Amino acid sequence: MLSDHQQETVQSAILEHKTEQFHQSGLLPILHAIQDRLGFIPADATPIIAKALNLSRAEVHGVITFYHHFRQEQPAQTIVQVCRAEACQSMGAETLWQHVCQRANKDNAITLEPVYCLGLCSTAPAISVNERPYARVNAARFDQLLTRHQDTQTSSTTSAEVAKENTK
Ligand code: FES
């Protein structure tokens, strides 16, 4: 069952992105809007979206499960994405992935997700932590970044600091 906040979020996303002429074209923007606001797509949102867009539940569920981007569970406070695409693989991303997996298995406050290119191919391997990108990351640097993020979860890092980190 959706909370009041979740219910309002789903309804507002539908109102913002449903088009009168082509209802179904609103599906992806609606799903993005819900995930951006809630961090995931609650299962109970599926029938509401389906009804609003005149789709079957299976069609909506099929889209949610097709795209890796969409989460079906509430993520942890820290979301780490590790790029597993070719340029990063060639620069040690597999070793980094294994390291991050070990950390995530020990720490329930981390949600680990694979991604396939963060647009930082020339400075691989790349990761993002709570949507902030970092380049040239190895295991030791990841540990430092994670500690810093977890220590300063509520404070914001400026773009300049991120850029500075990426030049290291
Ligand atoms: S391949 Fe990893 S950032 Fe592009």
- Show Cβ contacts of residue 54 under 8 Å, excluding neighbours closer than 6 positions: 23, 24
Residues 50 and 129 grouped into a single domain: no
CA of 70 to the centre of ligand 1 (A): 20
- Residue 135 is encoded by which pair of tokens? 């380049």
Q: What is the pLDDT of residues 43-90, one digit of tens each?
A: 999 999 999 999 999 999 999 999 989 999 999 999 999 999 999 999
88 lines ligand 1 (CB under 6 A): yes
Q: What is the pLDDT of residues 26-52, one digit of tens each?
A: 999 999 999 999 999 999 999 999 999
CA of 51 to the centre of ligand 1 (A): 38
Pairing of strands 110-115, 127-129: unpaired
pTM higher than 0.95, yes or no? no
Helix (H, G, I), strand (E, B) or coil at 128: strand
Residues 86 and 61 grouped into a single domain: no
76 lines ligand 1 (CB under 6 A): no
Strand ranges inside the chain, DSSP E: 78-83, 110-115, 127-129, 132-134
**Looking at residue 166, what is its pLDDT?**
54
Residue 118 lies in a domain: yes
DSSP class of 133: E
* Domain that residue 92 falls in: 78-166
Q: Which atom of ligand 1 is nearest to the CA of 87?
A: 1
